[in-house]
Structure 1
C-alpha cells in the first residue's frame, strides 16, 4: 500500500521519520539518512543514537530531504536530494535511491537521473502511486528556465524513469511539494512559496491538475518550508509539519479535523518534539510490529533531553558549567543531552550526568544548579540526587524534588536552574517553572 494513504491508516500503529541533521553552528551537521519513530506522530524517538543509518557513497556523498515511500508490495524505497551542505547554486540532475524491506537494512543504493534540464537541481524528491498510470510519480523541485516548479518523472522500479514533465506550475516560484492521495476522492499537494506553506487540491493526479487548486492562505511560523502531511491513526485529525528554512532548523506543527477546509491551527509545542537537529523530514505510517522491530534493531537513545513545560521552545543545558534553559537549537547541542543514572545518594532517585562532560553532574550549591565533577563525597551525592514526581504544573509531565532539601524542587528562574521551596499550593507559574518534559 503506498504511503501516505489516508484509507490505510487503521492498519498502522506508528510512524517512521527520515531526516538529515544540521545544528546552528555546524557541530551536528550530518548529511546522511537518519531515522526516528513515533507511536502518535508527535513525540519522536531518534534511532541509532541519532547517528546515520545509511550514507551515500556517490555523487556529492551527502543527502538532504530524505523521503520514505511504502510501495505497492509493502516494501520501502528511500529517495533523497543529492547535496552535501548548502551550496544552493550546485546543479545536479540526480537523486539518491535505496531499497529496503523493513527500514532495518538498505540495499540497492543507486543514483538515478530524473531530468535533463540544464544548470538546475532536483531537490526534495518524493513519490506516490498513480493508479491511473499504474506507475509511481517521482516529483521534485527544479528550475524550468523561467521559475522553480515541481517536475515529475514516472517509474515502476525506481531505476528507469520516464522523461521529465512539469507537474505543478501555478505561475510563480515554488518548491518542496508533498502529495497525499485518495482522501475522500480528493488529492492534496502542499508546497512552499516565499517563506510560507500553501495547499492545493485536485480530484486528478495528472500533471497540471493542481495548478489552479490552491485553497489555503499562507501557513507559517517565522519562515517555513518542507511541508509534510500526516493523519492521526486514531482519529480525524490531520497534522501539517513545516521546517524553518534556515540552518537553525525547528519543526512547527499545525492541525485540522478536515484537510479539505484548509483551516489549520497551531499545535501546542508541549505536545510534540522533533528528533535532535532534524531537518526536512519525510514521514510514513508503519505497523506496531515494524516500529518495535526498528527500536530493537537500531536502539533508542541512552540519553535524554529536558524541555521546559512553560517555555517549550527551551531545553535544559549547561553553559559555562551553569544549568539553564535556552532556546533550541544551540551549539554545542550536546550541552542539552543528559544521562539519567540511579541517584548518587539514593538509588530510588536519579542523578543527571552530562553526556559531553562525563563525570560531571547537575548539583545544587547555594540553591543554584551547577555542573560539577563528582568528587565522591556524601555531600556531593546528596546535592546531585533528585526524586522524580508528577509534574507540579502538569501531572503528565515531571518535576524533580531535591534529596537533601525535600521541600525544594528543581525549577528555572530568569532562565537559570535552581532549587526553591514549592508545593501544590504555590502559584501556577512557579509550579510550571518546576515542570519538565523528557524527550529524545
Structure 2
C-alpha cells in the first residue's frame, strides 16, 4: 500500500523528494580553489568518497521508521554503509518534530548547511511555510538549529535544496509548493545566511504538478533541473544556460521504474559517468539507478542492481562528495552497522532472510525488515569460519537440517554447531562476492532453489550463481 495518495493536479499529496546533498559550486575560479568541476556542483580535488542523507520508513510505517537525519557513506558511490546503526544522527525539535527530504549543501566557506522538509510522517495536509536548518563543520556535529520561513501561502514547502548562484552572489533555495497556478511548482527564495530569505518566486512551472527539483549546475555552460512529473510518476530533465527563474525548458522523456520520485543526479569521482537515482513513492521505497555519460543527450540506461545497494528502509536520498578524511571521521564518529545483509547474485532485488524460521531469499522491502539482518559471528564449530546469528532472534542461527536451511535455537550440541558453521570463500560466480561452504558437508554450499535456502553440491553455472551472495549493509 502506498504511503502517499495518487498524484493530483490540485494541491497534491505527492511523495516528498529526498534531497540530494550536493556541495555546490564555489564562486572563485576552479584554478584558484583547487576544485574539480563535477557539474552537479563542485567537488574538492581531495574528494574521494560520498555521503548520503535520508530518512527511513518501513513497509508498515512501524519498526524501522524514523523521521530524523540519517547518514551513510560510500567509497564508490554505489554500495552504502549506514552510520550510527542506521539510526538518526540529529532530529528536529520544532515544527512537526520530524523531517523528510534532507539535503546537505557544502557552502562557500567549506562548511555545511542541512535543509529538510518540516513534516513528520505522511500527513500531507500539514502545511508548513518553514524548512528545518542546521549548520555543520564536518557532518559530525550539528549546531544553530532553526526553522526558516519561505512564504506566507497556505501550503507546504517540500523537498528543499540549495545551490550557489554566482551571478547573484546568493544561495538559491528551491522547493515544491502550490502557488496561484493550482498545482505544485518549483519555487525559489534567495539567501546569504539561511537565516532570512527573499520573497518567493516561481522557479519552474511546466504546466502540471511538478515536485522534487534537483539541480546540476554548470555542465559545459548548461544548468540541469531534474524533477518528478507528479501526474505520471516519471523523472524528467529541464535545462537552461542561465539560473534565472522561468528560464528552464523540459528536454527529456520520462525515466521511471513503476512510479518513481526523488531524482538525484551525482557525478562519479573516477569517470565521466553520471548517476540518476530515484525511488518508488511507497513507504520503504526501492531505490533505482540509471547512468549516462552525456547529460545533454538526456538519455539514461538502467544500472544492474548488482552494482548498488541502498541503506535499509532509506527514503529520498541525497548524495554529495566528501574527502577521504571526512569519510574516515564519519565512520569513527558514528560507526558501521554491527550487522549485514546478504544480496543474491542472480536475483539482486532479493536478500537472505528468515520467514517462519525458514531460510530463503525475498525481494526488498522485507517486512519485518530485521528478518534480513544477520550478525556474521565466528563459526560455532570453527572460529575461522562464520555462523549467521539472527538480529531479531539472537538465540537462533541459520543451520542446515536435511540439507534445508532454517533458523533454530542453539541447543549447545556439537551437531548444531557444525550444522550452523560455514566457510566463507570467494564467490563461485563472482570472486568479489562471497559463497559459503558447509563445515560438516564440505562438498556443499549454501544456495537458493525456488527462493528457499539449502546446501547442495555446486557444478553448473546456474548453481554457482545461486550460491553467490554480496555481504553488505
Compute the displacement of 1:393 (Å): 1.4
Compute the displacement of 1:11 (Å): 3.0
In structure 2, the residue matched to 1:434 is 467
Instruction: Determine helix, strand or coil for the equivalent of 1:370.
Output: strand
- Aligned CA RMSD, in angstroms, stands at 1.1
Match for residue 17 of structure 1 among 52, 58, 76: 52
Rounded to whole Å, the distance in 1 between the matches of 2:113 and 2:157 is 17
Compute the displacement of 1:3 (Å): 2.6
Q: Would the aligned equivalents of 2:228 and 2:235 in 1 still touch at CA under 8 Å?
A: yes
In structure 1, the residue matched to 2:174 is 139
Compute the displacement of 1:2 (Å): 4.1
Match for residue 218 of structure 1 among 228, 250, 254: 254
Corresponding position: 1:205 with 2:205: no
Q: Would the aligned equivalents of 1:400 and 1:434 in 2 still touch at CA under 8 Å?
A: yes
Compute the displacement of 1:113 (Å): 0.6
Corresponding position: 1:6 with 2:38: yes
Give every structure 1 segment of 4 or more consecutive aligned residues whose post-TM-superposition deviation is greater than 2 Å: 1-5, 7-11
Q: How big is each residue's C-alpha offset from its partner over 1:69-102, in whole Å with a ceiling of 9 and x where there is no partner?
A: 0001000000000111111122110110100000
In structure 2, the residue matched to 1:297 is 333
Q: Would the aligned equivalents of 2:213 and 2:226 in 1 still touch at CA under 8 Å?
A: yes
Q: How big is each residue's C-alpha offset from its partner over 1:183-236, in whole Å with a ceiling of 9 and x where there is no partner?
A: 1111110000030000011110011111xx211100000110000000000010
In the comparison of the two structures, how many residue pairs are matched? 434
Compute the displacement of 1:170 (Å): 1.5
Instruction: Determine helix, strand or coil for the equivalent of 2:295.
Output: coil
Compute the displacement of 1:247 (Å): 1.3
The runs of 5 or more residues in structure 2 that have no matched partner are 1-21, 26-36
Rounded to whole Å, the distance in 2 between the matches of 1:285 and 1:68 is 11
Rounded to whole Å, the distance in 2 between the matches of 1:315 and 1:124 is 30
Q: How big is each residue's C-alpha offset from its partner over 1:14-61, in whole Å with a ceiling of 9 and x where there is no partner?
A: 111110000111221101100000111100100000000000001000
1:305-320 → structure 2 map (5 Å cutoff): 305-320=341-356
1:182-201 → structure 2 map (5 Å cutoff): 182-193=218-229, 194-201=232-239
Change (3 A) 1:2 1:339: closer
Q: Would the aligned equivalents of 1:124 and 1:176 in 2 still touch at CA under 8 Å?
A: yes
Rounded to whole Å, the distance in 2 between the matches of 1:240 and 1:2 is 17
In structure 2, the residue matched to 1:122 is 157
Rounded to whole Å, the distance in 2 between the matches of 1:2 and 1:82 is 21
Match for residue 85 of structure 1 among 98, 111, 121: 121
Rounded to whole Å, the distance in 1 between the matches of 2:408 and 2:192 is 58
Q: How big is each residue's C-alpha offset from its partner over 1:407-434, in whole Å with a ceiling of 9 and x where there is no partner?
A: 0000011111000011xxx221111010
| More deviation, 181-190/9-18 | 9-18
Rounded to whole Å, the distance in 2 between the matches of 1:105 and 1:371 is 40
Rounded to whole Å, the distance in 2 between the matches of 1:84 and 1:190 is 25
Q: Would the aligned equivalents of 2:216 and 2:265 in 1 still touch at CA under 8 Å?
A: yes
Q: Would the aligned equivalents of 1:3 and 1:285 in 2 still touch at CA under 8 Å?
A: no
Compute the displacement of 1:251 (Å): 0.4
Instruction: Determine helix, strand or coil for the equivalent of 1:13.
Output: strand
The runs of 5 or more residues in structure 1 that have no matched partner are none
Rounded to whole Å, the distance in 1 between the matches of 2:119 and 2:460 is 51
Match for residue 375 of structure 1 among 404, 411, 429: 411
Q: Would the aligned equivalents of 2:56 and 2:284 in 1 still touch at CA under 8 Å?
A: no
Rounded to whole Å, the distance in 1 between the matches of 2:128 and 2:409 is 50
Instruction: Determine helix, strand or coil for the equivalent of 2:455.
Output: strand
Match for residue 437 of structure 2 among 370, 384, 401: 401
